[in-house]
Amino acid sequence: MKKLSKEELLRKSKIPGINAIKMHKFYKGKIQLVPRCQIRDYNDFAIWYSPGVSAPSSEIFKDKQKVYEYTNKWNSIAIVSDGTRVLGLGDIGPEAALPVMEGKSLLFKYLGGIDAIPLCIGKEACCEANHIIEFVKMIQPTFGGINLEDIEKPKCFSVLDGLRADPEVEIPVWHDDQQGTACVTLAGLINSLRIIGKKKSEVKVVFNGVGAANFGIYRLLKADGFNLTKFLFVDSKGILYQERSDLEDPEDYKHELIKISNPEQLQGDCGVAMEGADILISSSIPGPNIIKKEWISKMADDAIVFVLANPIPEIFPWDALEAGARIVGTGRSDFPNQVNNSLCFPGVFRGTLDVCAKTITDEMCIAASYALANLVDEIKGCLIESCILPTMEYDELFIREAVAAGLKAIEQGIARFNLTEEELYSNAKIMIEKSHSELKMLMKKGFIPEFKDYTK
């Protein structure tokens, strides 16, 4: 791994932003609507609109489930955000969040063949969790699923849990910052543990940061059978333990973590927590030097270090390796072992939509994680420390995740349509390849013009 100077990293990190300003202004956004049906001549509007459209509407009125057959509900999701916790920018509001949500829509379309519509809602009108819950419930007739995005904590926990538990919600709801990051992290840990030969029931895991990402990771590791008594959580004030004076509010979401972790009631900073730890999962603030080399040097042999802050990880991977870590993952694509939720959400939602599942369960996420992890050995022929996850250019990974999530939904009895493994595979492959082909055609024909003024 090439060690870059601070100046080189700073310059490199600024280039995407410079090009983003130029290209967003040139294209005036990243997504648009195009027809799905043919229009042979103007007479066809009598079929697609009045008077013909009253026939499918009448059929749906008789049987609500036919909306999945006669409309695009089966392949559409809403990306809902109030702009209160956007990337590393924080509370920037719904308008400033819109470019991010459009980018998410682009990833959904290109990687999963899914039509995703950004819905950035005014935080002044919808500032509480219950307002967002009601908003989602009001729009669910139009969409096959909901992706919650960039909502501040602890509101994001209340919104996701509230919607998943509400019997009136009949479509899947997913919070990518929690479930997507967790899904990919679990896949990375599965392969990392395979490499070092340790069992998930035996490893000591330290979570640095207790925001949406690490909270979601904890929940999925719990569901997959990791030993919770070997978990330690660290926030900006140190290790979480039962008698900490600032954690007396029983409504604080951190109380869930206190109850299940740190049975020895260890106190101190992250360095204390990391002594003898097998795994560090850090989703905190951009580095470097947030995680110290001397802390990693005191971890167990064959330590696994995931430092996921962007744009600069909490410690540079070469420093972590020098300090004794055996496997290091970051959130960056230009370093080995990128742990990024883009490897997960297009595939999981593809499979969820293909069977019209009513929710996305932890078991569906875990099935997708194992499908993602198992693909590495198939692609590379072996597992190595510098390649614990596939990268997003392998379309097969999204297809395999779709199959795994869809089959698990059918097994759990939450799918509206039961498809075979072969049908799920074929559907996902066709939808993703179609999305690629449509984009290439639009570019080739000049309907999407070429942009040339790149900053190198």
**CATH code reported for the domain at 179-330:** 3.40.50.720
In 3-state terms, the chain is what percent helix, strand and coil (to 5)? Answer: 50, 10, 40
pLDDT band at 405 (very low <50, low <70, confident <90, very high): very high
Contact 337, 330 (CB under 8 A): yes
Residue 405 belongs to what H/E stretch?
helix 395-411
Q: Is the pLDDT of residue 456 over 90?
A: no
Of the candidates 73, 104, 109, 429, the residue annotated as catalytic is 104
Question: CA–CA separation, 215 vs 298, rounded Å?
Answer: 25
Is the domain 342-444 a CATH 3.40.50.720 member?
yes
Q: Which residues contact 307 (CB under 8 A, 6 or more apart)?
A: 280, 282, 287, 291, 313, 314, 315, 317, 320, 328, 329, 330
Q: Going by DSSP bridges, is the β-strand pair 279-282/238-239 parallel, antiparallel, or unpaired?
A: unpaired
Q: Which whole-number Å values give the CA distances from 186 to 222, 316, 370, 371, in the listed order? A: 11, 21, 8, 11
Q: Which residues contact 170 (CB under 8 A, 6 or more apart)?
A: 140, 358
pLDDT tens-digit series, residues 192-232: 999 999 999 999 999 999 999 999 999 999 999 999 999 99
What mean pLDDT do residues 356-385 have? 94
For the chain, what is the largest distance between any 2 Cα atoms, rounded to a whole number of angstroms? 75
Instruction: State the pLDDT at residue 1.
Output: 61
The gap from C-alpha 208 to its chain's centroid, in whole angstroms, comes to 19
pLDDT tens-digit series, residues 286-325: 888 999 999 999 999 999 999 999 888 999 999 999 999 9
| Distance in Å from the first CA to the final CA of the chain | 22
Q: What percent of the chain has pLDDT over 70?
A: 98
Q: Which two tokens stand for residue 368?
A: 């997708």
Chain mean pLDDT for the chain: 94
Instruction: Specify the long-range contacts of residues 194-201, CB closer than 8 Å, at least 24 apart.
Output: 194/383, 195/326, 195/327, 195/383, 195/384, 195/385, 195/388, 196/302, 196/304, 196/326, 196/327, 197/302, 198/278, 198/302, 200/224, 200/225, 200/226, 200/227, 201/225, 201/226, 201/227
Q: Which of 355, 29, 334, 405 is nearest to 180 (CA)?
A: 405
Contact 44, 113 (CB under 8 A): no
Domain ranges (residues) in the chain: 29-171, 179-330, 342-444
Question: CA–CA separation, 424 vs 403, rounded Å?
Answer: 5
289 Ramachandran zone, left/alpha/beta (phi>0; psi -120 to 50): left
pLDDT tens-digit series, residues 50-100: 999 999 999 999 999 999 999 999 999 999 999 999 987 889 999 999 999
CATH homologous superfamily for the domain 29-171: Malic enzyme, N-terminal domain (3.40.50.10380)
SS3 label, residue 208: strand
SS3 label, residue 313: coil
What mean pLDDT do residues 383-404 have? 94
Q: Minimum mean pLDDT among 98-102, 310-314, 341-345, 386-390: which range? A: 310-314
Q: Is the pLDDT of residue 438 over 80?
A: yes
What mean pLDDT do residues 342-355 have? 97
What mean pLDDT do residues 39-51 have? 96
Active site residue 70: no
Instruction: State the pLDDT at residue 292.
Output: 97
Contact 298, 349 (CB under 8 A): no
Identical topology for domains 29-171 and 179-330: yes
Q: Is the pLDDT of residue 125 over 60?
A: no
Contact 320, 328 (CB under 8 A): yes
Q: Which two tokens stand for residue 121?
A: 């809602």
Of the candidates 3, 27, 49, 64, the residue annotated as catalytic is 49
pLDDT band at 6 (very low <50, low <70, confident <90, very high): low
Q: Which of 348, 359, 316, 354 is nearest to 335 (CA)?
A: 316
Active site residue 49: yes
Q: Which two tokens stand for residue 199?
A: 């069992």
Instruction: State the pLDDT at residue 333.
Output: 85
Q: Minimum mean pLDDT among 18-32, 117-131, 363-377, 423-437: which range? A: 117-131
Instruction: State the pLDDT at residue 2.
Output: 63
Helices (H), 261-327: 270-274, 293-297, 317-322
Q: What percent of the chain has pLDDT over 90?
A: 84
pLDDT band at 37 (very low <50, low <70, confident <90, very high): very high
Instruction: State the pLDDT at residue 126.
Output: 57
Instruction: State the pLDDT at residue 400.
Output: 97
Contact 409, 351 (CB under 8 A): yes
Residue appearing with tokens 């932890």: 362
Contact 337, 327 (CB under 8 A): yes
Contact 379, 394 (CB under 8 A): yes
Contact 108, 77 (CB under 8 A): yes
Taken in order 207, 330, 92, 342, the sign of the CA dihedral is negative
Q: Which whole-number Å values give the CA distances from 79 to 132, 148, 246, in the listed order? A: 12, 6, 34
pLDDT tens-digit series, residues 144-189: 999 999 999 889 999 999 999 999 999 999 999 999 999 999 999 9
Q: Which of 216, 100, 104, 208 is nearest to 156 (CA)?
A: 216
